[in-house]
């Protein structure tokens, strides 16, 4: 067993790794889209890969957690939508705007925690909620229009953040379940949702008829990366306080912004930067949103 300082270093490093990879993974998904592999199909193959390759290793853990299967199913579907919606959103929208809407998750976390875990806000919590909501208004405001996401991709990004909050609150409820069982539930959740999506849009599988070896290798590579990220997140969240974890996760925004600048030539205006600063600040203080007697939900 590693020492406590080493274990903490590994946990922090795993979250940094996951955040950085999430800030970059949108690009190979776009490359796959250009190769004719739609977002639903690429999500299916990239999440089915770790499920089939290593999911069986956690069969015993899943059996042990059989009393929690209902909650594990809820975790899988919530996290499944988070990941699928994220992929579809970054394929069609501006990466940084999508991620900023995603990182409204502290706002949704406290609402889910209030109703599912009966956790109450303190004064700082209300301030964080107001700051996050204000950031969204600042970023989305357009004269004469309601301050709402402006396209399908941004609605997907917003919904991904809502489900991210739900999945983390459910994960808190499942503290006694192993990380491996949770990881398998997440992979399976994406697989189930994408199978439904492919049933509705079977044309997304047409690429299989003449896909080049490079396309299959890229799908395999993304699948392996997804599997490693899921493990990294579960390992880190189990060992790093939630308020520190959200700070680390915010590095995803930095990585994504730099990558988007060089790889897709995306830019944000002054109004969007003001909203971004407010949302990021709200996320930084999200660890202080609940009464200390009740504990803190993961965000």
Neighbour-count burial of 270, counting CB atoms closer than 10 A to its CB (0-12 exposed, 13-18 middle, 19+ buried): exposed
Amino acid 52: pLDDT: 94
- pLDDT truncated to tens, each residue of the chain (299 aa)? 566 677 778 888 888 898 889 889 999 999 999 999 999 999 999 999 999 999 989 989 988 988 898 999 999 999 999 999 999 999 988 888 888 788 777 677 767 767 766 666 667 767 776 776 777 677 666 655 555 787 899 999 999 988 988 887 787 778 788 888 999 999 999 999 999 999 999 999 999 999 999 999 999 999 999 999 988 888 887 777 655 666 677 777 778 878 887 888 777 677 777 877 777 777 666 555 555 444 443 33
**Contact residues for 290 (Cβ-Cβ < 8 A; gap 6+):** 110, 113, 119, 120, 121, 122, 125, 296, 297
- Residue among 72, 52, 46 nearest 61 (CA): 72
Amino acid 218: pLDDT: 96
**Contact residues for 223 (Cβ-Cβ < 8 A; gap 6+):** 45, 46, 47, 48, 49, 50, 53
Q: Is the whole model's pTM more than 0.75, yes or no? A: yes
17-21 own/partner pairs: CB under 8 Å, 24+ apart: 17/228, 17/229, 17/232, 18/229, 18/232, 18/233, 18/236, 18/249, 19/248, 19/249, 19/250, 19/251, 19/252, 19/255, 20/251, 20/252, 20/255, 21/225, 21/228, 21/229
Amino acid 294: pLDDT: 43
Amino acid 237: pLDDT: 74
Amino acid 125: pLDDT: 67
């Amino acid at each position: 067993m590693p020492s406590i300082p080493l274990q903490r270093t590994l946990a922090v490093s795993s979250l940094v790794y996951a955040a950085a990879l999430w800030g970059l993974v949108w690009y190979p998904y776009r490359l796959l889209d250009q190769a004719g592999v739609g977002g639903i199909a690429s999500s299916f193959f990239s999440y089915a890969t770790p499920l089939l390759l290593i999911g069986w290793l956690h069969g015993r853990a899943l059996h042990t957690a059989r009393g929690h299967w209902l909650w594990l199913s809820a975790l899988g579907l919530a996290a499944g939508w988070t990941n699928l919606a994220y992929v579809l959103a970054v394929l069609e929208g501006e990466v940084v705007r999508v991620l900023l809407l995603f990182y409204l998750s502290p706002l949704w976390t406290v609402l889910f925690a209030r109703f599912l875990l009966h956790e109450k806000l303190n004064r700082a919590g209300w301030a964080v909620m107001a700051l996050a909501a204000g950031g969204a208004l600042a970023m989305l405001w357009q004269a004469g229009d309601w301050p709402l996401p402006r396209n399908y991709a941004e609605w997907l990004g917003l919904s991904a953040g809502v489900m991210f909050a739900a999945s983390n609150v459910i994960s808190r409820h499942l503290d006694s379940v192993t990380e491996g069982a949770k990881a398998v539930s997440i992979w399976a959740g994406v697989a189930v949702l994408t199978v439904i999506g492919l049933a509705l849009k079977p044309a997304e599988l047409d690429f299989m008829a003449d896909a080049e070896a490079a396309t299959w290798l890229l799908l395999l590579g993304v699948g392996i990366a997804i599997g490693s990220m899921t493990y990294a997140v579960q390992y880190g969240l189990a060992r790093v306080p939630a308020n520190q974890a959200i700070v680390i996760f915010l590095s995803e925004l930095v990585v994504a912004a730099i990558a988007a600048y060089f790889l897709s030539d995306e830019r944000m205006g002054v109004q969007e930067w003001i909203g971004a600063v407010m949302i990021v600040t709200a996320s930084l203080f999200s660890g202080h949103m609940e009464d200390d007697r009740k504990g803190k939900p993961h965000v």
